[in-house]
Chain A
Amino acid sequence: MTNRTSLSLLALLAATGAAHAQDKTPLNVVGFSGVFAENYEKFIIAPFEAAHPDIDVIYQPSKNSAETLALLTLQRSDPTVDVALIDVSVAIKANGEGLFATLDEASVPNLADQPAWARIDGDKSIAFSQDNLTILYNTETVSEPPTSWTDLADPKYKGKIAAKLADTRGVILIPILNKIAGADYKETIDPAIEALNQFAPNVSTWEPAPDCYAVVQSGEVDLSICWNGRSQYLHDTQGGIIGVSAPKEGSIGQTNTINLVEGSAHAEAAKTFINYALSAEAQATFAEKSFYGPVNTKVELSPEVATRIYGSPEAQAAQMSLDWPWIATVYSEWIQRINREVIAFN
């Protein structure tokens, strides 16, 4: 499937690359599509290009990280992509194949401001933003918004929940539910599976279509478990029908990483760009505009923005992060357990 799409993407990249290649250094960035792409171009790439007139950033949205990975694998001997923005779990997979180059503080000084957990696989992949898993609700049908992850098991939501959990969403929900049950996710996830089975009878669909936001907007379900950034955006742009209720027990973010592609022809320009993308200034702007949690430790968020990203002060204090390289080793096993021990029975 990906072969043909990748090839056409390649051709497109080559074409756009050639058109821009007069005097500026072209820098091909492949990343997420949709609102993310819009915001990233507006709030990260545009200011960067203004500060670096000699670099021309060409942003190519990719449908998902799996497709980006396919593209990078296909052109590993002669990459046209210089910088890739992908999910942390996919990045770790790509590092196993040696697709990304190691970064260092000499050429990317802002690395020093990233917390240790964000510098993954020996500085090959750097986390730059986190999009929290949250509960969204239909403000017209739900008068009393849920405040806790355990509210999902409330019988009043029977047949009223959309939960796509057989992917990163489920992998993130497991440690959250585990923590509520007082267990360590590295030891056992049985408590989380049990908790999932407690609210599973309330779930109407495990495969909301077209996505986990639209089913709440349309009123098809009352609650949905999905990402905060997009929910906040839809809350603001779609008449406030979607409400976001960050549970008090805290959450975990879907972590996005920035990566320098091994063998990139414009590695210097790429490092300059990565350094800017990791800066406190860029991350603060992106957090304010798109409600993705920043990673850089120097970023200070206003209380309003912090609330919209992480929820109440109680939830902010309970915010968690994961040992992603470790998670990568159990990722498919956990999804398998969700599929076989929860979804298949409900």
Chain B
Amino acid sequence: MSGAAAPAQQMTGSNRYMLLILLVPGLLALMTTFLLPMVWLARASFSTSSMSAFGGGVTLEHYHAALTDPFYWKVAMNTLSLGVTVSFFAVILSYPIALFLTRSTSRWRGVLTALAVAPLLTSAVVRTYGWMVILGDRGVINSTLQSLSLTTDPVRLSNNTFGATVALVEILMPYAILAMLAGFGRLNPQLEEAASMLGASKLRVFWRIILPLSLPGILTGALLVFVLAISAFVTPRLMGGGRVFVLGTEVFQEATVTLNWPLAAALSVVLLALFSSVIVIYQRALRRLEA
């Protein structure tokens, strides 16, 4: 084992051993904080006992209740449409910023990048309250409109889907920017120069060179925002004024108000299934794009 006799193979063997040991804490943490609760959640969604996940028999009634109720289908559709709208606007607004940050050669680039993602330093709850101040009935926008005599009654900008969408777009934009920055690796100024030299207009360069090359980044950003938006709970609840019914708020309602824990678990599993299918579709799309 020891000394000069140790062949290279054994070295890699012990390296691998080391690697495993180093991985153990992380894996254990993942097991206890992620995998075990998932198993618990999955089991609870089949439980006949309303309180203990592992007591009681197994039943499909909660899935039956969730999937045969048109209201939950509507909630699922709300969730999806909120996710799509938020990712669309977050991507549209983040793309120019990310593109600028990638292509910029300014020495302020690092500072600007930090500024772009700085909102992440504040919690989503605080930023949601910020939006309540801006969009509320007595908020900045409404009082400006009224002092300019453009409106007499407050325009309802918050406590509805509009408010929830606006707040979510802003809150999730830094994620989109970060994801795009990471995904724009294939952008190459030389390709643009070559295209221009061959006579392509700026618009054409953007359309034929920049956009296709940045598409993987755009997709990653959109996926990230979409997943965060459909699982969002605090912002839709606070900005929606109770009028925005999405899966996140419904799970909370069932878990803490009506205390139907198995139904809450079943709805969570449905949400997870939604996530997974979106991720599968995304990976297919990405593979096709790169092929």
Contacts and interface: CB of A to CB of B under 8 A. Distances in A.
B174 interface: no
A344 B260 contact: no
Contacts, number: 70
Contacts of A167: 257
B242 A343 contact: yes
A207 B256 contact: no
A209 B126 CA distance: 12
B226 interface: no
B71 A207 contact: no
Contacts of A332: 258, 260
Contacts of B259: 66, 69, 90, 93
Contact of B129 (A3, A206, A209): A209
Nearest to B238: A209
Contact of B242 (A73, A93, A206, A219): A206
A205 B159 contact: yes
B185 interface: no
Chain A interface extent, by class: 20 to 34
Interface string A98-130: 000000000000000000000000000000000
Given A3-B37, A344-B245, A207 B240 contact: yes
Interface in B217-242: 237-238, 240-242
A205 B71 contact: no
Nearest to B33: A4
Nearest to B132: A209
Contacts of B129: 209
A64 B242 CA distance: 19
A331 B258 contact: yes
Nearest to A96: B50
Contacts of B241: 204-207
B64 interface: no
A73 B243 contact: no
Given A206-B241, A207-B237, A343-B242, A335 B37 contact: no
Contacts of B237: 207
B37 A97 contact: no
Contact of A207 (B37, B51, B238, B255): B238
Identify the interface centre among B132, B241, B255, B257: most chain A CB within 10 Å of its CB: B257
Nearest to B257: A167
A64 B256 contact: yes
A73 B153 CA distance: 50
B136 interface: yes
A73 B259 CA distance: 13
Interface of A: 1, 3, 64, 66, 69, 73, 90, 93, 96-97, 158-159, 164, 166-167, 204-207, 209, 219-220, 331-332, 335-336, 339-340, 343-344, 346
25 contacts: A3-B40, A64-B256, A66-B256, A66-B257, A73-B52, A97-B51, A97-B52, A159-B156, A164-B242, A166-B253, A166-B257, A167-B257, A204-B156, A204-B241, A205-B241, A206-B159, A207-B159, A207-B241, A209-B129, A209-B132, A220-B136, A220-B138, A335-B258, A343-B242, A344-B243
